[in-house]
Amino acid sequence: MNLPTGEHLPGRPYLHGRELEDLAVSFLVLVLLFSNFDPYDIPYVLVAVLTAFIFHELAHREVARRYGYIAFYKRWDAGIVLALLIGIFTKLLTGNTWIFASLGAVHIYAPYQYWYDKEAYGKIGLAGPLTNIAVGIVAIVLMRLLTHFTIPWYVLRATAGVNLWLAFFNLLPIPPLDGWKVLRWNTGYWAIAIGVAYLLRAFI
């Protein structure tokens, strides 16, 4: 089993070594993409991407480790290059960046389990999008309490939008996205989750 630098064992919640580097690289690339490569928009999307991406991946990681699995985030270099090429090309062509969000994933190993546990993997898959939905709801509520078109309001708007977009994207029932794992485990939970993620975007 090839693990990144450092010990990635259940019960070791902290981030270090290669995993921290992979999260940081993926985070910075997503900030560029969601800011539409506009330096003036970067401050508004920093909080959005932090809550949407980092919280999403840590939720997968935490639930997996609660099942006793070895779990750690690993970036996908080909996906990062593809995302940047698509983003730059569409920005030049249309003025708007198309976002390819598959920059990496939480890798899970169950060294003492020799079968695929649909429920465990379904709950692990659902943890990330549910975290995005929860953050999106909080951001929408806070938006309603603030004066419109202020800096905090724009930050919350971006936070709600990015979180709910990532929740919906990741719940698409396409391997290897989270939605495929959730659908294989429980069709009802998958339908509710992707429906809520889609509908909540109307409140932004």
Query: What is the C-alpha separation between 163 and 55, in angstroms, rounded?
Result: 10
The first and second tokens of residue 182, run together, are 């959730």
pLDDT, one tens digit per residue, over 90-146 is: 999 999 999 988 899 999 988 777 778 999 999 999 999 999 999 999 999 999 999
pLDDT number for residue 17: 84
The pTM of this model reads: 0.89
Residues serving a catalytic function are 57
- pLDDT, residue 113, reads 75
- Please give the structure tokens belonging to residue 177: 């996205």
Tens of pLDDT along the chain (204 residues) come to: 444 444 444 445 566 689 999 999 999 999 999 999 999 999 999 999 999 999 999 999 999 999 999 999 999 999 999 999 999 999 999 999 999 888 999 999 887 777 789 999 999 999 999 999 999 999 999 999 999 999 999 999 999 999 999 999 999 999 989 999 999 999 999 999 999 999 999 899
CA distance linking residue 114 with residue 183, whole number of Å = 22
Q: What is the pLDDT of residue 98?
A: 94
Torsion sign across C-alpha atoms 23, 61, 84, 50: negative
**β-pairing, 104-109 with 70-75?**
antiparallel
φ/ψ of 109, rounded to 5, equals -130, 135
